[in-house]
Structure 1
Amino acid sequence: MRHTWRWFGPVDRVTLRDAVQAGVQGIVTALHHVPTGAAWSVEAIRQRQDEVRAGGLAWEVVESIPVSEAIKTQTGDWRAHVANWALTLRRLADCGIRTVCYNFMPVLDWTRTDLRWETRQQARAMRFDLPDFVAFDLHVLQRPGAGEDYPEALVDEAGRRFAAMSDARIAELGRNIGAGLPGSADGYTLAQLAEWLRSYQGIDADRLRRHLVDFLTQVVPVAEAVGINLCAHPDDPPWPLLGLPRILSTGADYAHVLGQVDVRANGVTLCSGSLGARGDNDLPQLARAFAERIHFVHLRNVTRETATMPCSFYEDEHLEGGTDMVALIAALLAEEKRRRAEGRADHQIPMRPDHGQEILDDLTRGAQPGYPAIGRLKGLAELRGIERALSHPLLGGAA
Structure 2
Amino acid sequence: MNTAELRELFPILHQEVNGHPLVYLDSAATSQKPVSVIEAVKHYYEWDNSNVHRGVHTLGSRATDAYEGAREKLRRFINAKFTEEVIFTRGTTTALNLVASSYARAVCQKGDEIVITPMEHHSNLIPWQQVAKATGAVLKYIPLQKDGTISLADVEKTITGNTKIVSVTYVSNVLGVVNPVKEIAEIAHRNGAKIVVDGAQSTPHLKVDVQALDCDFYALSGHKMCGPTGIGALYGKKELLQEMEPIEFGGEMIDHVGLFESTWKDLPWKFEGGTPIIAGAVGLGAAIDFLESIGMDVIDKHEKELTAYALERMLEIEGLTVYGPQKDRAGLITFNLDDVHPHDVATVLDANGVAVRAGHHCCQPLMRWLNVTATARASFYLYNNETDVDRLIASLIKAKEYFGHAIG
Larger radius of gyration: 2
Larger RCO, structures 1/2 (Cα 8 Å, 6+ apart): 2
Question: Which of the five TM-score ranges fits, normalised by the shorter chain?
Answer: under 0.3
After TM superposition, the score normalised by the length of structure 2 is 0.26
